[in-house]
Structure 1
Amino acid sequence: MNHIMKIKIILTIILFSNICIYGQQTGLIRIDFDQPFDTTLMLEKVYLHTDRLNYLSGEDIWYKTYLVNAENNILTSHSNNLYVELISPSKEIIQRQNIQIFEGKGNGDFHLEDSLISGTYYLRAYTNWMRNFEEYIFYKTINIISSLNNVNDSLVYQPTYYNAGIDLQFFPEGGSLLDQVSSTVAFKAINTEGNDIGVSGYIISSENDTILPFESTHFGMGKFSFTPQKELSYYARGKTEEDYIFSIPLPKIFASGICISIPYVYDNHIIVCINTNPESLPTFIGKEFIIKSTCNKLISNTRITIKSLSDTLIIPIFEMPMGIAKITLNTMNELPLNERLVFIPKFQDVKLNITSDSINYSIRSKVNLEINLEGDYEGEANANISLTVIDQLISENANKYASNIASYFLLESEVFGHIEQSGYYFDPDNEDRLDKLDLLLMTQGWRDFKWKYSADAALSFTFPVENEFSIIERLRLYTDSIINPPPNVNINTSSHNLLNKALIDDIQNEAYYRNMIKAHYGLNDTIMLEEFEKVANKIIVKPKDEHVRIYGTPKKSDTYEMTGNEFGYTNLIEFLRGRFAGLQIIGREPNIIIQIRGPKSLSESSEPLWLLDGMPVGRDRIYDFPVEEVDKIEILKSGAELAMFGVRGGSGVISILSKQAGYGLKKLEKTISNKHLGNNDYFKQRQFYSPKYDHSEPENKTPDLRTTIHWEPYIYLDENNKVSVSFYNADKSTTIEVRAEGLTESGIPIIGKTTYRVR
């Protein structure tokens, strides 16, 4: 049936005449993409495909880089220099490489010294231009296991049993609950370790009536629908999967306003419902607003007039690229009011199909792979992929659905904060993945983004685009070894990245055997073409605690000393969630509730007194204070501790002690290479060693101990979207895992996986 779509693209409308606005503040507007697109305003994203996630010291990390235009995920030549860093568990840059990017592609490798300790390490990648938009800087977590020392406890996943509480938050679709209007409410629950946790229970009214049951259905998330009444308040009462009992209030109900819902997202259009109530309708009838629909570029900039209690809109999506669309309501003076995220489901069945010529092989036998593009890809051609073939023993990870090129470009780089098992939403075998993805966007998807700029001044940027290796490249890149992560980095240290002890023991036993054989035969895994020159060193020593306090020393359980591993927190308030017993943080700004048990009853709403280096400050100052500049946090709860603060300390005290006040910003010793930096200073990649056993060679008489059996960073599909790859197995009987990731010419991320057995 043909439909004439007369309605222009319109998305999220959220306005309340008597509430705080959750969007950007006055003076911030989006880039006007209606004008010719200026290349200097192009946003870049980068992704690193590594051969695996778990390594032994003494091995090599192989990686392929994909640099794309954030608008459409198409490979770009906007920048030609990419900086890739290996960062230690203590946040020290161990190695830094400058990779030359050609047509959006590059590759490199890190050799891991035998002296590296076991722990969680990080890869960081960025262009100089990306430093203007720090939320797009790429981070990846890897595990390194040393055969020379015991495994750091921080690397081993140890199940924790506790009943210290949860952080359960509710997200009404459209922003808020509106009196007498049916609302869908999404929720998300995490435990004190920051991991998802299942919950179930009932919604109870203030008259003690049971309204409806609720239960999480996916990674601690779920949703329910009900019609609220402004005369009542509502609570969620229930328990976690570990039997922790909770009672948490739902958000406030507003008497007037407009709320929206998006019940369906189809292949070619979105259904948007806009509802208000009789009390609000006289306020909004005839008023105009601006609706902006963006997918990293402006798709629509349209005026809308409110006409009735309920309107249904059909939004065509043929102009929208695959990925997340941000739908924003603005006032006529360009003030953004609110935002709803939806996923545009194009090319969802496109994937790489990998088949081997057998499922069982002997050691050192030849393997022939056929790789082809499958699905509705509309004649896509010229796909570029990278391929890794690894021993499954060392590739095993607690996260079944680890991050990949599709989940990063289409989700993780747009929705900031840790996303549990992000690969789940892009595995075609998960039939419910799109419904679960929309649930994620309804909860974790309420975000502000840095591509909204000031309307009062011309745009200016600190870091220029780099197209060659220049001495102008900031000195900081060569001297800083203590990293202050950007405020929205996507680093996760949850249990999903950790390894079980049995697996670590197996890997260490394997390492012990390999080291014996390598020492006997003088073996190496790679052919060295040219050594990488280290150009900077730094040593930092933290002096003793020199903080001046006007109160006594709190109990150890009420003190937290920063370790330097506090990645991924957007602000101090988020960092404090679940950090101290008795400290409750409920909701989000501007409706957040912060209370300390003990000093006053939880029925009282007074917030603790905030101290920054001994000086009373407002919560907004704490909210803006960088997490990486904090040295210690101390909670004061007892009467003796609070007596000197008088009435102001009646609800407890949270004391933030900064690094600068504690031991100063010491000058650090550096050694800097002052030589001219020309094009010859790009990192010289090494060649992956892949032996051929079809004829006799002297080196073939030595044991083959490869863990990464094959690594090929540049594979191009032919005109039929197929390609053949061949290599030889090593000497170990094991299960081999084959993984491929890449991009099509039009920016569709593609992934594929298979396994076979060596006997």
Structure 2
Amino acid sequence: MKKLLFFIVSILFFIGSNAQVDQSTLMEKIKEHDEIPREMAYLHLNKSTYLEGEQIAFTAYVLNKQILKPSEATNLYILIKDENNKVIKEKLVLVEDGTSSNTIRVDSLFTAGNYNISAFTNWMRNFKEQNYFVENIKIIEAESSDENTASATTENIDLQFLPESGHLLNGVINTVGVIAKKHDGKGIANAEIRITNDKNQQLAQCKLNRFGIGKFSFIPETGTAYKAEISYPGVQSIIYELNVPVERNGIILSAITTQEELRLLVKTNPESSRSLKNENYSLLLHNLTESKMYDIDFKDKFSIPFLFNLKDLPPGINTVTLFNSKNNIIAERIFFNYNNLPKTTFKRPNIKASSDSIKIQLKTKQALDSMKVSVSVLPKFSLSDQNNHSITSYLLLQPYIKGAVQQADWYFNEIDKRKVRELDNLLITQGWSTYDWNFVFNKDLKIAYQYEDLLKIEGVLNKPDKKNQEFLIHATSTRAPQRISLPGNTKSFIVNDFFHTTESELEISRVDGNRLLPANLFVRFSPSAFPDLYTNPPYVHLDLKKNAPNIKLEQPVIFFDENRETLDEVVIEKRIDKVKQRERKLNNKEIYGNVKVVDLDDIMLYRTLSTYLSTQPGLNVNEPPGSLIVTAGPGNSFGTPSGLEGRSEGGSRTDSSMRFYLDDVPMENEFFYQYPLELVDYVKINRRGLGGGFMEANGSIRVYSRPGSIYEDSRTIKPQKFQLPVAFSQQKKYYIPKFSNEYGAFFQSYGVIDWKPLLKSDSKGEISFKIKKPQVDYQLIIQGISDDGVLIQDVQHIKLNDADLN
């Protein structure tokens, strides 16, 4: 049975509630509410439609909601879910100075279909408003075809009528928003709506826009039945019976917005005038940065007008709320102020071409402080960029909207009177107030989810010792080693601000003289699991355009990625010296140092590390009691006067001696005193210290432990290993998929030219980057932020001949 839902968004949800505060404290409560910091997240995706095997590349932007300036540092969770809400991929990235970037491979866990990608911080989970990011992406098979078979039949229409201020009032002109959508969230364009009463008299009519949104005005009456007739191309008009609830008494808000002003009318009807004469009302105009209160006194009036100059109000969403004397909310209306919008675009790019590449220089139309942008370079007629949002529409509009917005970015490009009007209609039909008044008035508000910046680990000792103890958290490729010193009888320790990636195991050893022993710890981690967040599903599904070519490969697509392996050159020898072969392989990978592999003959001959090093050219070795000191020099003396130049009184390391490492962990010289050579697999000697920074100015010796050796003893490093349940994803390089044909129809529909995730402005305020010279016309899809709170978005279309050849 066909049924029309007359969807009334009532904001009388607080009448009769206990959430009442004294009128004098209302402004204070609102101020306290607004001062609670908020974060907003946005992901600039390199595109919206991906082939199997590609990388989903993104740049994350996290901003302070009140001032749109970059967050200093925060943990950002990234989830990809399928249409059944099952998590397919999850990542944790560290956002620093408002930005981060990464990639997610479209691997065997994905199948063709629609997915949701979301991004949020733990702090965002405290609030009902949509400060998180969620968007649809589509995965397609390389040799399939995709046709949009959805049709706007009467069986799958979602038709809603929404009164402007939340309810209808008898006997006065009411404005009603209309929205008509298909099951996939797309609006039914150009549908016509007729409203008639039970006498078949037409009371109102309107034509919906391209997104299926419109509005009409009429005078409803209690006790009257109404009908709505909807018609649109290709479908016979249908008439619905409407039981419209109309209130006999009450107050409504009626607003008209232009580019310059807001005209607001607070009005009632004669039936309500008697009860309103002795009642005081207040009109609150508020936003994220300020609030103003206006007294309302009807007396003998049925309407009270207000006129606001929008140039005097903050840009973006503003809200007007009508309170009675008990601070119950009577009506509410939100509107958007386009004036002084914190948004800018770029001037026409300066493009210089060489034989095989192009250099692109971009400068914003508005002078900005330091800015960071990401750029997706796609063919001009790409079908792979169907995201509904830009950074501007998502951060300034989406948090105040119920559900998703179809082509939300359209409202922020080439702004004119029509777009002001259309956005206002959108706010009538889908807008909602982020002010949860129970939240505002709650004196005992508790923050359930804490702000997160990096990780935290807590080590609990299985056997506390009366003596002082020392632990070593081993270094990884992204983190320096860390020593933990504990007084005797200490049972546990906590490490805050800890950074660790999923690519590495956490290794902890207990330091005992010059031995590293298993830590014998129990470790707790925070966070201990990936959090989940209920997100309003972005129900505007992505579909290929009807004029898109069949998705059939003209020539194979070859994906190059971080998993590719370059095979070593094969050298065939009559006799193979395995030690020399391994030594040669290790040296091929070493840029600055020289690698020496320790074999059985070395162990039997030299016994200790110090004796072995004394045989290496260019090293001066000295082993006074309790220490090992090595300096780089022309000789290779052992126990000679020239070897004393690296030693200070007491035998400790001096500024001229080489730095020691054990398995890439910086160690003190004392650790290697009389160190058994049987524990050494190989040694990397960097005499000049090149590539090691100031810490290795005098060179370095890196000792690598022998794993699984028959020569192991109690000094062999056997760190206790842990797998963190949640760790950061190391930033991955984006690899451009290679197409055999980079000018055909398939490439122009779904190909990728380049992706630049994190570009920063130079001293001239310009952004510059290079790309491989395309073979087709292309577009630059640019998103970004500035340090002074301006959002950057632009799309620049470039023709192949739009370049000056050097």
- Per the alignment, residue 162 of structure 2 pairs with 171
- Per the alignment, residue 703 of structure 2 pairs with none
- Per the alignment, residue 499 of structure 1 pairs with 544
Deviation at 1:291, TM superposition (A): 2.8
- Per the alignment, residue 249 of structure 1 pairs with 242
Deviation at 1:312, TM superposition (A): 1.2
The TM-score normalised by the length of structure 1 is 0.65
Using the alignment, how far apart are the partners of 1:373 and 1:709 within structure 2? 26
- Per the alignment, residue 356 of structure 2 pairs with 364
Q: How many aligned positions are there?
A: 562
Deviation at 1:415, TM superposition (A): 0.8
- Per the alignment, residue 771 of structure 2 pairs with 728
**441-450 vs 100-109, greater mean Cα deviation:** 441-450
- Per the alignment, residue 134 of structure 2 pairs with 139
- Per the alignment, residue 187 of structure 1 pairs with 178
Deviation at 1:448, TM superposition (A): 6.0
- Per the alignment, residue 127 of structure 1 pairs with 121
Q: Give the partner amino acid of 1:499.
A: L
Q: Of 730, 744, 748, which aligns to 1:684?
A: 730
Distance 1:321 1:212, change over 3 A: closer
Q: Percent identity?
A: 21
Asked if structure 1 preserves the Cα contact closer than 8 Å seen for 2:114 and 2:137, the reply is yes
Asked if structure 2 preserves the Cα contact closer than 8 Å seen for 1:181 and 1:227, the reply is yes
Q: Of 337, 340, 351, which aligns to 2:344?
A: 351
Which whole-Å deviations, capped at 9, do the CAs of 1:651-680 have from their partners, x for residues lacking one? xxxxxxxxxxxxxxxxxxxxxx944689xx
Deviation at 1:98, TM superposition (A): 2.1
Using the alignment, how far apart are the partners of 1:511 and 1:451 within structure 2? 59
Distance 1:335 1:357, change over 3 A: same
Q: Of 373, 385, 391, which aligns to 1:385?
A: 373
Using the alignment, how far apart are the partners of 1:313 and 1:458 within structure 2? 36
Q: Give the partner amino acid of 1:87.
A: K
Distance 1:703 1:422, change over 3 A: closer
- Per the alignment, residue 757 of structure 2 pairs with 713
Pairing 1:287–2:279 present: yes
**418-427 vs 99-108, greater mean Cα deviation:** 99-108
Asked if structure 1 preserves the Cα contact closer than 8 Å seen for 2:41 and 2:61, the reply is yes
Pairing 1:753–2:806 present: no
Q: Give the partner amino acid of 1:498.
A: D
- Per the alignment, residue 695 of structure 1 pairs with none
Deviation at 1:518, TM superposition (A): 13
Asked if structure 2 preserves the Cα contact closer than 8 Å seen for 1:329 and 1:337, the reply is yes
CA RMSD of aligned residues (A): 4.2
Distance 1:719 1:183, change over 3 A: farther
Asked if structure 1 preserves the Cα contact closer than 8 Å seen for 2:316 and 2:341, the reply is no
Unaligned runs of 5+ in 2: 1-9, 459-495, 497-523, 568-720, 802-806
Q: Of 36, 42, 45, which aligns to 2:37?
A: 42
Deviation at 1:403, TM superposition (A): 1.0
Using the alignment, how far apart are the partners of 2:424 and 2:550 within structure 1? 40
Deviation at 1:716, TM superposition (A): 4.0
3-state SS of the aligned residue for 2:393?
Answer: helix
Deviation at 1:406, TM superposition (A): 0.9
Using the alignment, how far apart are the partners of 1:348 and 1:186 within structure 2? 26
Deviation at 1:50, TM superposition (A): 1.5
- Per the alignment, residue 466 of structure 1 pairs with 452
Pairing 1:21–2:15 present: no
Which whole-Å deviations, capped at 9, do the CAs of 1:147-190 have from their partners, x for residues lacking one? 4x757xxx752243634263332223233333332222221222
- Per the alignment, residue 3 of structure 1 pairs with none
Asked if structure 1 preserves the Cα contact closer than 8 Å seen for 2:11 and 2:330, the reply is no
Q: Which has the higher contact order (CA 8 A, sep 6+)?
A: 1
Distance 1:174 1:352, change over 3 A: same
Using the alignment, how far apart are the partners of 2:356 and 2:437 within structure 1? 52
- Per the alignment, residue 75 of structure 1 pairs with 70
Asked if structure 2 preserves the Cα contact closer than 8 Å seen for 1:354 and 1:752, the reply is no
Q: Give the partner amino acid of 1:264.
A: T
Asked if structure 2 preserves the Cα contact closer than 8 Å seen for 1:118 and 1:150, the reply is no
Distance 1:26 1:674, change over 3 A: farther
Distance 1:489 1:68, change over 3 A: same
Pairing 1:86–2:80 present: yes
Using the alignment, how far apart are the partners of 1:221 and 1:38 within structure 2? 33
Distance 1:520 1:479, change over 3 A: closer
Deviation at 1:349, TM superposition (A): 9.3
Deviation at 1:452, TM superposition (A): 4.3
Distance 1:114 1:58, change over 3 A: farther
Asked if structure 2 preserves the Cα contact closer than 8 Å seen for 1:517 and 1:703, the reply is no
Max radius of gyration: which structure? 2
Distance 1:446 1:677, change over 3 A: closer
Using the alignment, how far apart are the partners of 1:736 and 1:190 within structure 2? 33
3-state SS of the aligned residue for 1:75?
Answer: coil
Using the alignment, how far apart are the partners of 1:165 and 1:106 within structure 2? 40
Pairing 1:509–2:553 present: yes
Q: Give the partner amino acid of 1:325.
A: N
Task: Give 1:210-221 correspondences, 5 Å limit.
Answer: 210-221=202-213
Distance 1:160 1:206, change over 3 A: closer
Which whole-Å deviations, capped at 9, do the CAs of 1:175-210 have from their partners, x for residues lacking one? 333333222222122235543224324322222323
Deviation at 1:491, TM superposition (A): 1.9
- Per the alignment, residue 227 of structure 1 pairs with 219
Deviation at 1:371, TM superposition (A): 3.1
Using the alignment, how far apart are the partners of 1:88 and 1:478 within structure 2? 24
Asked if structure 2 preserves the Cα contact closer than 8 Å seen for 1:174 and 1:259, the reply is yes
Q: Of 129, 148, 163, which aligns to 1:157?
A: 148
Which whole-Å deviations, capped at 9, do the CAs of 1:575-621 have from their partners, x for residues lacking one? xxxxxxxxxxxxxxxxxxxxxxxxxxxxxxxxxxxxxxxxxxxxxxx
Deviation at 1:132, TM superposition (A): 1.8
Task: Give 1:190-589 correspondences, 5 Å limit.
Answer: 190-197=181-188, 198-230=190-222, 232-241=224-233, 242-249=235-242, 251-267=244-260, 269-296=261-288, 299-307=291-299, 308-317=301-310, 320-348=313-341, 350-357=343-350, 364-373=356-365, 380-392=368-380, 395-397=383-385, 399=386, 402-428=388-414, 432-446=418-432, 450=436, 452-453=438-439, 455=441, 457-471=443-457, 486=534, 488-494=535-541, 497-500=542-545, 503=548, 505-506=550-551, 508-509=552-553, 512-514=556-558
Using the alignment, how far apart are the partners of 2:17 and 2:346 within structure 1? 50
Deviation at 1:390, TM superposition (A): 2.2
3-state SS of the aligned residue for 2:422?
Answer: helix
